[in-house]
């Protein structure tokens, strides 16, 4: 079909299970010759939320000095971003399903870029707090739209394959971001981290202008009652909610380490920010390894995989705590954490793919609810743990990890019970 023929097509209506869907031909068009480029750009933007937090982790102690504040006050910049991004994702999915992905994503990318430059030039922590909230909203539009892009453009085994790659691609952020941020901190100071984010997203903005286009074909009417009905149906699905809690707790293991490791490595073990960057890089690599292992075992039973991963995590955390009694240094601290994060990446990848694939008819909403709830739950839980416990060495971190793994076991037991109940009802 030629581009001229596409333009002549008229909108038609088609019925779905939940509501009426307006089928609108894509006037911008996702041309086949650009589909590969657009897929690459979408994958490039999926880790943006991680880049926005992890790149300046090595700079947290330096920001404490610059703004003359304490550790929790600068850690709040991470928490505010995560909560903002999480809450926004809960709602932007329905907007993207009604008004399209492309233009909203373009505006969000530009806002993120400009706010990154503004943070780099700021001397007031209150302004940084505000801009991080703005960035969280922008990132939610970008990431939800790009995840939904794959559901728009692909189906079947190819879609399943791409979804299974999400957490692996997402893990590139904690691999590359703190590694880059550690060197930027040493060479140019904490501000350069945000300048880097601004330049990176501005370049992607230009590429989106050149090669981008609308991927959504079925524009759903923006009807509040219908949208609330979809949200209600998703959040009443118990196995989905339990799976969501599992990925949030798995991510919290990583977030907690990211928040406390700079202070332990730089203040307790007396190493530089570069080592903090390397440790976060290895942590991200561990998550990716866990995701790759998960992808290679995609045909295996979900229950047996998760149970094995949780048992391995519990054994590793126990060894971490016992080792801390008689030997503790940066090597043991980072080494045990990396092995635990491999199992976390494995659990995260399996359950994240399960949640995203649970409601394919409402890709934007499910993408938003999953990503948003993940960020909100993980950030609130992590910040709560950090402010109610003392984590200044390897053993204390191990005890916190052990408590989270126990919660993971409880949630997975509820998850499997709900799956059995559904199988019984279907039978």
- Encode pLDDT of 95-143 as tens digits: 777 777 778 888 999 999 999 999 999 889 999 999 999 999 998 888 8
Identify the top-confidence range among 114-128, 146-160, 296-310.
Answer: 114-128
Residue bearing the bigger pLDDT, 254 or 362: 254
Residue bearing the bigger pLDDT, 193 or 354: 193
Lowest mean pLDDT, pick from 18-32, 192-206, 250-264, 324-338 = 18-32
> pLDDT class for 12, splitting at 50, 70, 90?
very low
pLDDT on residue 285: 78
4 pLDDT exceeds 50? no
Q: What is the mean pLDDT of residues 182-207?
A: 89
> Could you tell me which residues are beta bridge partners of residue 15?
20
Question: Could you tell me which of 359, 31, 20 has the C-alpha nearest to residue 219?
Answer: 20
Q: What is the mean pLDDT of residues 252-258?
A: 86
Integer Cα distance of 108 and 179 in angstroms = 26
31 pLDDT exceeds 80? no
9 pLDDT exceeds 90? no
Integer Cα distance of 46 and 142 in angstroms = 8
Report pLDDT digits (tens) over 34-92: 777 878 888 878 888 878 888 888 888 888 888 888 877 888 888 889 888 878 877 78
Integer Cα distance of 402 and 24 in angstroms = 51
> Which of helix, strand or coil describes residue 219?
strand
pLDDT on residue 319: 92
Q: What is the mean pLDDT of residues 185-208?
A: 90
> Which of helix, strand or coil describes residue 228?
helix
20 pLDDT exceeds 70? no
Contact status, residue 19 vs residue 218, Cβ threshold 8 Å: no
How many CB atoms within 10 Å of residue 299?
5
Residue bearing the bigger pLDDT, 168 or 193: 193
> Which of helix, strand or coil describes residue 13?
strand
How many CB atoms within 10 Å of residue 378?
23
pLDDT on residue 174: 66
């Amino acid at each position: 079909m030629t581009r001229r023929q596409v333009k002549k097509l008229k909108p038609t209506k088609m019925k779905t299970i939940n509501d009426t869907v307006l089928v609108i031909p894509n006037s911008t068009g996702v041309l086949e010759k650009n589909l590969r480029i657009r897929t690459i750009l979408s994958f490039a933007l999926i880790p943006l939320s991680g880049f926005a937090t992890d790149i300046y982790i090595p700079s947290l102690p330096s920001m404490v000095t610059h703004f003359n504040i304490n550790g929790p006050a600068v850690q709040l910049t991470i928490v505010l971003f995560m909560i903002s991004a999480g809450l926004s994702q809960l709602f932007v999915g329905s907007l993207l399903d009604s008004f399209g992905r492309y233009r909203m994503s373009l505006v969000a990318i530009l806002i993120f870029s400009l706010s990154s430059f503004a943070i780099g030039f700021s001397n007031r922590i209150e302004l940084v707090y505000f801009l991080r909230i703005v960035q969280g909203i922008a990132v939610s539009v970008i990431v939800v739209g790009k995840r939904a892009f794959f559901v728009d453009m692909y189906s079947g085994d190819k879609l399943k394959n791409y979804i299974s790659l999400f957490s692996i691609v997402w893990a590139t952020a904690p691999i590359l971001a703190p590694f880059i941020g550690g060197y930027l901190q040493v060479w140019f100071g904490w501000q350069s981290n945000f300048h880097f984010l601004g330049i990176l997203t501005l370049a992607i903005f230009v590429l989106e202008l050149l090669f981008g286009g609308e991927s959504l074909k079925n524009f759903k009417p923006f009807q509040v009652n219908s949208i609330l009905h979809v949200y209600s149906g998703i959040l009443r699905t118990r196995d989905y909610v339990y799976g969501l809690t599992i990925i949030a707790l798995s991510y919290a293991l990583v977030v907690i380490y990211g928040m406390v490791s700079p202070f332990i490595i730089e203040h307790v073990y007396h190493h530089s920010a570069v080592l903090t960057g390397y440790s976060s890089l290895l942590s991200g690599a561990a998550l990716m390894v866990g995701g790759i292992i998960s992808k290679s075992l995609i045909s295996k039973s979900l229950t047996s995989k998760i149970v094995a991963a949780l048992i391995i995590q519990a054994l590793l955390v126990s060894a971490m705590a016992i080792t801390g009694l008689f030997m503790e240094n940066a090597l043991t601290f980072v080494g045990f954490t990396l092995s635990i994060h491999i199992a976390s990446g494995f659990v995260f990848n399996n359950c994240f793919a399960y949640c995203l694939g649970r409601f394919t008819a409402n890709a934007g909403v499910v993408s938003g609810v999953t990503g948003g709830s993940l960020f909100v739950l993980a950030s609130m839980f992590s910040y709560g743990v950090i402010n109610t416990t003392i984590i200044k060495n390897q053993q204390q971190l191990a005890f916190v990890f052990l408590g989270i793994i126990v919660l993971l076991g409880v949630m997975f037991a509820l998850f499997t019970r709900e799956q059995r109940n559904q199988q019984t009802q279907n039978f």
